[in-house]
Amino acid sequence: MFEKILIANRGEIALRIHRACREMGIKTVAVHSEADSNAMHVRLADEAVCIGPAKATESYLNKPAIISAAVITGADAIHPGYGFLSENADFAEMVERHGIAFIGPTSAQMRLMGDKVAARAAAQKAGMPVAAGSPELKSLDEAYVWAKKIGFPVIIKAKNGGGGKGMKVALKQEDIPDAYTLAKAEAKASFTSDEVYLEKFLTHPRHIEIQILADSYGNVVHLGERDCSIQRGNQKVVEETPSPALNESARQNICKIVRKAIQKIGYTNAGTLEFLYEDGKFYFMEMNTRLQVEHPITELVTGVDLVREQIRIASGAKLSFKQEDISFSGHAIECRINAENPLNFLPSPGKIEEWHAPGGLGVRVDSEIYSGYQIPADYDSMIAKLIISSKTRNGAIMRLRRALDEFVILGVETTLPLLQDLIAEPEFLDGTYDIHWLETWMQKYKL
């Protein structure tokens, strides 16, 4: 087992990884920017190394600085968390070349699944259902040809994208030029590559993802599904498990397909297969080769510590359980809490004047915020995750309502009021929402 792990991230996920390491008796190294010198994970880690100024490109995305910090401190492994360099195959390869373990898949596996066109082909070959789509589009003329072949509406997506960026919908032929141009521009700005492809656009799907764990010995388990359909601008806001949209037959069928596919692909460590689900059918979108923001809800219904298993797998250990050992119990919901204006979503950095997190049975808060903490203006505005579990979905919703009412964050604007109103809506209570529901509701909410 590793003796020391460098955490190449910040915020709540850095603290989450630190806690798992501490429980395993592993020392931690926190890397941080100048803006994060007072962050909680920096305070709690065994060692801390400043890797640059606040700007992410000069710190958390600075590969040489992170590798140097690992070498200087004698770290055995690097955990990338999510975001930043977590799905950067070049970084994973650099880590491997320096004889340091990367807590995630291999760089080759990351490259395969990071190329959305190649990932679609690999998924289809491995037996997963895939929506109609094109190869990489070389020109606007090709976009017209493939759109006509597939049928409108279509969506043009970044080939090397993720996180909802580089995606533009064309409802009709006249929309193709703008969608193509804008998708390429956004892809270039977000991923340094303007390569795009085209896919059939589903009008009212759910966003369902399957969590898997796989070791280096061919053992693969699934940990059920998460419903991530409540989104704004392709960014998840609320997630729950199990999905209220699936019956047990559909659930078992897609999880079985995914498990077999991952075995065929030969993937290792934690990963998430993302699907659109409409009219009883699943369509593979992409694979996230990292830990997900919403992983805690899976932990609460399965009792599996996903970060711990990631670390064990990367150290060369076999999975500590088999598929038949996993049992699913109850219902869990996660709300992402951002330091933003709840109406226009403008970031609200600043000093936390008062912080009181809710507690009680079935309540978990993942955050490194504390009273007096200064939220930097340089990073993502998510400051906390409220995760609730109960025996039933209705029980989880009632507990979530109570916990949101207890949450106190003063000094900055947050999305707490939005979440309080959202979970009272009939479509949420009934579980009848789709991926477009929140944005439609938001238009009414703003009025």
Is the CB of residue 58 less than 8 Å from the CB of residue 84? Answer: no
Rounded CA separation 51/162 (Å): 26
Give pLDDT, residue 447.
60
Give pLDDT, residue 372.
97
Give pLDDT, residue 260.
97
Is the CB of residue 376 less than 8 Å from the CB of residue 350? Answer: no
* Residue 146 structure tokens: 């493939």
Burial 98-122 (b: 16+ CB within 10 A, else e): eebbbbbbbbebbbbbbbbbebbeb
Told to judge if 251 belongs to the known catalytic residues of this protein, a careful annotator would answer: no
Q: Residue 163: is its pLDDT beyond 80? A: no
What structural domains does the chain harbor? Answer: 4-103 (3.40.50.20), 132-200 (3.30.1490.20), 206-446 (3.30.470.20)
Q: Give residue for tokens 């060369």.
A: 316
Sheet-wide strand order for 167-170:
167-170, 154-158, 196-200
Is the CB of residue 243 less than 8 Å from the CB of residue 208? Answer: yes
Range 81-108 average pLDDT = 97
pLDDT digits (tens, 9 = 90+) for 397-406: 999 999 999 9
Q: Give residue for tokens 């509701």.
A: 441
Question: What is the pTM for the complete model shown?
Answer: 0.94
Give pLDDT, residue 444.
87
Is the CB of residue 388 less than 8 Å from the CB of residue 399? Answer: yes
Range 431-440 average pLDDT = 96
Q: Residue 27: is its pLDDT beyond 70? A: yes
H helix and E strand count, the chain: 15, 20
Rounded CA separation 156/4 (Å): 43
Give pLDDT, residue 197.
96
Among 28, 42, 26, 31, smallest CA distance to 9 is for 31
Give pLDDT, residue 192.
83
Which residues lie below 8 Å from residue 369, measured CB to CB, with a gap of 6+?
40, 352, 355, 375, 383, 384, 409
Where helices occur in 371-436 by DSSP H, the ranges are: 393-406, 416-422, 426-430
**Burial class of residue 262, CB neighbours in 10 A (0-12, 13-18, 19+):** buried
Q: Please, which pLDDT band fits residue 111 given cuts at 50, 70 and 90?
A: very high
DSSP state, 347?
A: B
pLDDT digits (tens, 9 = 90+) for 424-434: 999 999 999 99
Q: Residue 259: is its pLDDT beyond 90? A: yes
The more confident residue out of 295 and 160 is 295
- Among the listed residues 16, 290, 312, 336, the single catalytic one is 290
Rounded CA separation 304/324 (Å): 13
DSSP secondary structure string for all residues of 114-164: HSHHHHHHHHHHTT--B--B-S---SHHHHHHHHHHH-SSEEEEETT--TT
Q: Please, which pLDDT band fits residue 361 given cuts at 50, 70 and 90?
A: very high
Give pLDDT, residue 164.
74
Is the CB of residue 405 less than 8 Å from the CB of residue 420? Answer: yes
Among 228, 116, 250, smallest CA distance to 183 is for 116
Range 305-325 average pLDDT = 97
Rounded CA separation 286/300 (Å): 24
Give pLDDT, residue 446.
76
Q: How far is CA 45 from CA 29, 76, 147, in A?
A: 6, 15, 52
Per cent of the chain over pLDDT 90 is 95
Q: Please, which pLDDT band fits residue 282 given cuts at 50, 70 and 90?
A: very high
